[in-house]
Amino acid sequence: MNWGGRTLINVLAPRIVLAVLTLFIISLVIFFSVELLPGDTAEAMLGHDATVEALATLRRELQLDSPAYVRYWRWIIDLLHGDLGKSLSSGRAVSDLLAQRLPNTFFLAGFAALISVPLSFVLGVITALYRERAVDRGVNFVALAASSLPDFFVAYALILIFSVHLGWVPPISIISPESSLAERLYLTGLPALTLTFATSAYMLRMTRASILSLLSSPYIEMARLKGVSSGRVIVGHALPNALGPIANVTALTLAYLVVSVVVVETVFAYPGLGQLFVDSVSKRDIPVVQVVAMVFASTYIVLNLVADMVALAANPRLMHPR
């Protein structure tokens, strides 16, 4: 694509460079924060009651006799080759753990996105259409309330209503690789609903705001003067121009979704990456923590980059910043 001499690549390149730089800095911090531990790294990781043999094995595995930058280099090269190291607590390969957990987390986040994106889009259009009326005020009040509630509060409130009182779904969402799709959807209903609550409010408000800001522009006024109904003005005239910002917000929300699964998975004991992360954090299983943090950070940064690209593709005017 070419807009006025500047190609999309020209505009995107600095953003991609920044994303890669950010990932590089995150990897540095993830790796070197372990070096900040006082005393011997192996001892700090295993605790004071570790046996001499265990310490010796770990020292050999971490290659603590080489300088830190050499070990960082090897860690990154191994990561890029798919060798993610071994868990300290279970001894299993981290890549096995990821292969098992990552699809579950994407399934949950995807399920939540399938509910929350259309829902907040429709509600955003409706509130813009009926702005300052009862529907608008009501939806906005609920959205403001939803965004102030901690995720675990929403999760437990849903458990209390749907599991304890109504008995429709179990309070925990333990799925196994053998679970069928229907079973998965049934078991992940409550966590997906919790995530919908957490993410819809922001998307809804942004959809409403981007439509409302367009409604004051001259071409919309022209359409109105022409006698077009207000519903058609929004759907036919305002919406196409609002799609860019809305898609951008959606990608940002997905990034947020991937991170907020951490709390939700913990509440529902859902076997995803978030729960693995929290478990490894509390067991101080540092090799797993490092890799999972890297996975979360990369997903988050890539989705942010996608949000940027979508915004650019939808609005070529952004290609020429003042």
Partner 1 sequence: MSLAVDRAAEHHDTLAQRVRRVPLPALIGLAVIAINIVVAIGAPLIAPFGQSEIAGPPYNPPDGAFLLGTDAIGRDMLSRIIYGARNTIGIALMTTLLSFFLGAGAGFVAATAGGWVDQILSRAVDVMISIPKLIFALMILSILGASIPTMIITIAVLDSTRIFRLSRSLAINVNVLDFVEVARLRGENTFWIVRKEILPNVTAPLLAEFGLRFTFVFLFISSLGFLGLGIQPPAADWGSMVKDNSTLITFGSLIALAPALAIAILALAVNFVVDWAANLTSGLKD
- Give the binding site for partner 1 (CB under 8 A): 18-19, 21-22, 25-26, 29-30, 33-34, 36-37, 132, 144-145, 147-153, 156-157, 159-160, 163-165, 171, 255, 258-260, 262-263, 266-267, 277-278, 280-282, 284, 286, 289-290, 293, 296-297, 300-301, 304
Gyration radius (Cα) of the chain, Å: 24
For the bound state, the minimum distance from the C-beta of residue 268 to partner 1, rounded and expressed in Å, comes to 11
Residue 226 Cβ, how far from partner 1 at the closest point, in Å?
29
Cβ 158 to partner 1 shortest distance, Å = 11
Q: How far is the CB of 248 from partner 1 (least distance, A)?
A: 15
**Cβ closer to partner 1: 263 or 310?**
263
Q: Among residues 49 and 132, whose Cβ is nearest to partner 1?
A: 132
Whether the Cβ atoms of residue 191 and residue 104 lie closer than 8 Å to each other? no
Q: Of the two residues 14 and 227, which places its CB atom closer to partner 1 in the complex?
A: 14
Cβ proximity to partner 1: between 33 and 217 the closer is 33
Helices assigned H by DSSP within the chain: 8-32, 41-46, 52-62, 68-80, 94-129, 134-148, 151-158, 181-187, 189-215, 218-225, 230-232, 239-268, 273-283, 286-314
Closer residue to partner 1 in complex, CB, 73/153: 153
SS3 of 177, please? coil
Give the shortest CB-1-to-partner 1 separation in angstroms.
25
Contact 277, 293 (CB under 8 A): yes
Residue closer to partner 1, measured from CB, 166 or 181: 166
CB of residue 213 to partner 1, shortest distance in Å: 13
Residues 155-187 as b or e (16 or more Cβ within 10 Å = b): bbebbeebbeeeeebebebebeeeeeeeebebb
3-class SS of residue 3: strand
Q: How far is the CB of 102 from partner 1 (least distance, A)?
A: 14
Cβ atoms within 10 Å of 134's Cβ, excluding its own: 8
Q: Please check whether residue 194 is in contact with residue 155, taking contact to mean a CB–CB distance below 8 angstroms.
A: yes
Q: Let me know if 196 is exposed, middle or buried by CB neighbors in 10 A (0-12, 13-18, 19+).
A: buried
Residue with tokens 């399934």: 107
Cβ nearer to partner 1, comparing 30 with 79: 30
* C-alpha 8 chain-centroid distance: 26
Residue closer to partner 1 by CB (options 1, 160) is 160
Alpha-carbon span 283 to 289, nearest angstrom: 10
Q: How far is the CB of 29 from partner 1 (least distance, A)?
A: 8
